[in-house]
């Protein structure tokens, strides 16, 4: 144990986009903070994640001073397509949502931008901080103990702890089981995803429903495409050659869209299970949960990173008000305010997932309900407006 424990105002556990963005906003407001990340910087920057940003997310990134490269290189999307029974329904996001759009800009790029800004500001990010553990979170003097290869056992004393360490992180597990409630739904399938260095199948995303399962055509840049197909739980990427993947993807797309598919060797290939999960409240004592530490959504509605950013909006404004104005009202309402938006995003992600995927156990009745849902969506501007408003992101 180091002889003199370090002291900061906010200790942030987790160096993903949520933790890094919180650190940057706090630093800009004059609040002292430290980020602890158990992985190396290289590992964090190598993770392949989502790339669809809501307008609220892009607005907050600009406000934090990390929007310049995003605005130069990001791809604004005015809409997307839903393919069903050979038909293609276009959802015009800009028109239906009153001028709002989404931006395709990879989470890895967001993380790069945040690192660059934190480096310039001199905010400490301690990598390979192993076994980071919140302590005394019910007291007025919490701390975080951790271990590094170079410094051994260490401890940081602080006023508050932000748990941004993901679904499998330690922060949520620190809260006594009788003081937190969890809600969860696991879906009977996963997404097999492939990243390929080829131009996208079209400029905007395509969501496809097919008798063999769901498919998604997405992109990271004009020369980098990301494709997904629904697969069974327990499947293994070793069962899927690149050729088999693209054959299945092409089968699930309408001919008019599939004709534009450019195949290539996969850069990355992985399977992600789908689940909905919420833990509440998102605060216990001096510990605040944010991002995947508090909630998970299926990726269908592209809400994971965006929900983490909205959490940081609520948490940062509460912490800044506490330090700058000596007013803890917003901080005390953090969990309530954040969860109100979380549950709306959970509902939308569940609905979109339920409509567009193939559920084998639902039988003929379930399939007919899905068809009726799509027919209603295709024939109702009100239904399309609701979809668009949720997709571009509800207000913070």
Catalytic residues: 77, 207, 299, 303, 391
With both helix axes pointing from N to C terminus, report the angle between 17-28 and 107-121 in degrees, rounded to the nearest 10: 30
Parallel, antiparallel, or unpaired: how do β-strands 6-7 and 152-157 relate? parallel
Spatial neighbors of 266 by CB under 8 A, at least 6 apart, are 194, 195, 196, 242, 245
User: Rounded to 5, what percent of the chain is helix, strand, coil?
Assistant: 40, 30, 30
Question: Which of these, 231, 228, 232, 224, lies nearest to 206 by C-alpha position?
Answer: 228
The length of the chain in residues reads: 396
Nearest-angstrom CA–CA distance, 53 and 60: 11
Question: Which of these, 18, 65, 50, 25, lies nearest to 311 by C-alpha position?
Answer: 18
Nearest-angstrom CA–CA distance, 202 and 272: 24
Nearest-angstrom CA–CA distance, 10 and 27: 10
CB 103 within 8 A of CB 58: yes
CB 30 within 8 A of CB 181: no
Spatial neighbors of 287 by CB under 8 A, at least 6 apart, are 134, 137, 142, 160, 161, 163, 171, 174, 175
The residue whose two tokens read 């934090």 is: 64
Question: Which of these, 70, 66, 89, lies nearest to 79 by C-alpha position?
Answer: 89
CB 211 within 8 A of CB 200: no
């Amino acid at each position: 144990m180091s002889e003199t424990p370090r002291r900061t105002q906010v200790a942030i556990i987790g160096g993903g986009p949520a933790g890094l963005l919180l650190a940057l906003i706090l630093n800009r407001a004059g609040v002292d903070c430290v980020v602890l990340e158990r992985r190396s910087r290289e590992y964090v920057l190598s993770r392949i994640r989502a790339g669809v940003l809501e307008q609220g997310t892009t607005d907050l990134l600009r406000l934090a001073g990390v929007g310049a490269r995003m605005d130069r290189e990001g791809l604004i999307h005015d809409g997307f397509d839903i393919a069903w029974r050979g038909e293609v329904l276009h959802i015009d996001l800009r028109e239906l949502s009153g001028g709002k759009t989404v931006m395709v800009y990879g989470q890895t790029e967001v993380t790069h931008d945040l690192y660059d800004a934190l480096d310039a500001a001199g905010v400490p990010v301690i990598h390979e901080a192993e076994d980071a553990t919140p302590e005394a979170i019910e007291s007025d003097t919490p701390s975080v103990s951790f271990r590094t290869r170079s410094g051994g056992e260490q401890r940081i004393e602080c006023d508050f702890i932000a748990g941004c360490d993901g679904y499998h992180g330690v922060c949520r597990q620190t809260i006594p089981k009788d003081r937190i409630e969890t809600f969860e739904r696991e879906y009977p399938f996963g997404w097999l995803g492939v990243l390929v260095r080829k131009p996208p199948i079209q400029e905007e995303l395509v969501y496809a429903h097919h008798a063999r399962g769901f498919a998604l055509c997405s992109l990271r840049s004009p020369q980098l495409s990301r494709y997904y197909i629904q697969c069974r739980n327990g499947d293994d990427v070793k069962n899927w050659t690149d050729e088999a993947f693209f054959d299945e993807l092409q089968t699930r797309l309408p001919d008019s869209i599939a004709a534009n598919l450019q195949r290539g060797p996969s850069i990355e290939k992985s399977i992600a299970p789908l689940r909905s999960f919420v833990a509440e409240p998102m605060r216990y004592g001096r510990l605040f949960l944010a991002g995947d530490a508090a909630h998970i959504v299926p990726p269908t509605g592209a809400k994971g990173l965006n929900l983490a950013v909205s959490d940081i909006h609520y948490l940062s404004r509460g912490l800044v008000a506490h330090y700058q104005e000596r007013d803890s009202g917003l901080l005390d309402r953090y969990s309530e305010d954040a969860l109100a938006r979380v549950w709306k995003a959970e509902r939308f992600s569940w609905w979109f997932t339920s409509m567009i995927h193939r559920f084998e156990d639902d039988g003929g009745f379930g399939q007919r309900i899905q068809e009726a849902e799509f027919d209603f969506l295709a024939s109702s501007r009100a239904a399309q407006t609701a979809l668009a408003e949720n997709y571009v992101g509800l207000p913070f």
